[in-house]
Structure 1
Amino acid sequence: MEPVTVTRGSGPLVLAVPHAGIWVPKPLHARLNPCAESLSDTDWHVDRLYSRLVPDATMVRANFHRYLIDANRDPEGHSLYPGQNTTGLCPVTDFDGNRLYREGEEPDEAEQAERRERYHSAYHGALQSEIERVRAEHGIALVYDCHSIRSEIPYLFEGRLPDFNIGTNEGRTCARELQAAMEEVCRSARGYSTVVNGRFKGGWTTRHYGRPDEGVHAVQMELTQSAYLQSEAPPFAYDEAKAERLRPVLKSVLDTLLAHLRGLQPG
């Protein structure tokens, strides 16, 4: 299994998909607790949800599961949300705080370093390459980090998440007009709720690549899975009717971001 799949487009949009992969090496699978075998913390079908919304977009997709290594975490292991419950680079608990590994089977430092080199570096090497390519071609790049999560996870946050969770690290990772335009589209979508820089402010991808002064703008969209899945429980089936209602909103978000991006291009 190749760690990363790149679908290359000709436009300035790069869709980053770090958590839709479900591949786990067989030796690792044997070390996981039974409760981890459902891979419940996957961003289920997110790549399908965004597929072909923008014909000339590039998509960089991690094929490995986040239980192997989380492609949206700081490779040095620093927490993105100090003081709050979260999961690490090579997670040992799931989103509910349950341990992932059987007794004595957690990865040691050497194994974590090997995973970081083989998988995390492969994903970000591919992503960095595509960002540099589109910026060279267009003078500017938009990194849109695609995510989804169960709408209620008490271990990570109180209550129920809004449907659209926009993250820009408090406005640092993109131009202000991009954040405002994205928020406007989401808030005008009937039947959905929106928050900006709430519980999710943008992960390592958004924070690492978002350099507006260098022509790279980055945003994260964390969707609630109730907006497009039949159920937020196994088998996490894709709901065609829900998705067909949601996809036009996501297309409008992307089209609006790209329209505003053109106004930010140099020269």
Structure 2
Amino acid sequence: LGLATVDTPVGIALKVDERREKYFVPYHAALQAEIDRLRALHQKIVVYDCHSIRSVLPRLFEGTLPVFNLGTNDGKSADPALQAMVDEILAGTGETYVVNGRFKGGWITRNFGRPQNNVHALQMELSNRGYMREPEGKGTPDNWPVPYDPAFA
């Protein structure tokens, strides 16, 4: 039905309200305070929200994700000139990338990016294979997390 579950796979309640108040609210309040602090010091600031994700997640999407997945909420969370600069940098890496593809920007990008107020927010979903030797197939305790590999560091 498209609804989020409120239980774990073993039937334990997620305690959504408790977790929201304990983690989500204070984290985002601290982020807003830091944005306000930096904005008082600088004419423009950039919030860079970066996540790591498995390169292949069949339950979420078909195929393999590009290495770099940049989101600006379809240009609403960052100045188009900033998006173009990052696009140019990504193009120069030689790695696969997409802008505003599957990941257009999550809660932080959509709620903190205010280019009209000189607060620009970018989200980057970085596929694991861009910086580590990613195990094939499903992650299990036997193959995840992978050992440190200096060739990928």
**Could you tell me how far apart the structure 2 residues matched to 1:106 and 1:160 are?**
32
How many percent identity over aligned positions?
49
Residue of structure 2 equivalent to 1:231 = 134
Shift in Å at residue 237 of structure 1?
A: 3.3
**Could you tell me how far apart the structure 2 residues matched to 1:212 and 1:143 are?**
11
Choose the corresponding residue for 1:195, options 75, 84, 98: 98
Moved more, 229-238 or 125-134: 229-238
What's the TM-score, normalizing by structure 2? 0.87
| 2:9 pairs with 1:106 | no
One-letter amino acid of the structure 1 residue matched with residue 10 of structure 2: R
Q: How many residues align?
A: 146
One-letter amino acid of the structure 2 residue matched with residue 228 of structure 1: Y
- Runs (5+) with no aligned partner, structure 2: none
What's the TM-score, normalizing by structure 1? 0.51
Residue of structure 2 equivalent to 1:211 = 114
**Could you tell me how far apart the structure 1 residues matched to 2:122 and 2:148 are?**
24
Distance 1:238 1:187, change over 3 A: farther
Q: How does 1:25-174 map to 2 (within 5 A)?
A: 100-103=8-11, 105-107=12-14, 111-174=15-78
Residue of structure 2 equivalent to 1:242 = 152
| Structure with larger RCO (C-alpha < 8 A, sep 6+) | 2
Where does structure 1 differ by over 6 angstroms across 4 or more consecutive aligned residues?
none
Distance 1:238 1:184, change over 3 A: farther
- Runs (5+) with no aligned partner, structure 1: 1-82, 93-98, 244-267
Shift in Å at residue 137 of structure 1?
A: 0.6
CA RMSD of aligned residues (A): 2.0
Q: How does 1:181-192 map to 2 (within 5 A)?
A: 181-190=85-94, 192=95
**Could you tell me how far apart the structure 1 residues matched to 2:21 and 2:61 are?**
31
One-letter amino acid of the structure 2 residue matched with residue 169 of structure 1: N
One-letter amino acid of the structure 2 residue matched with residue 184 of structure 1: E
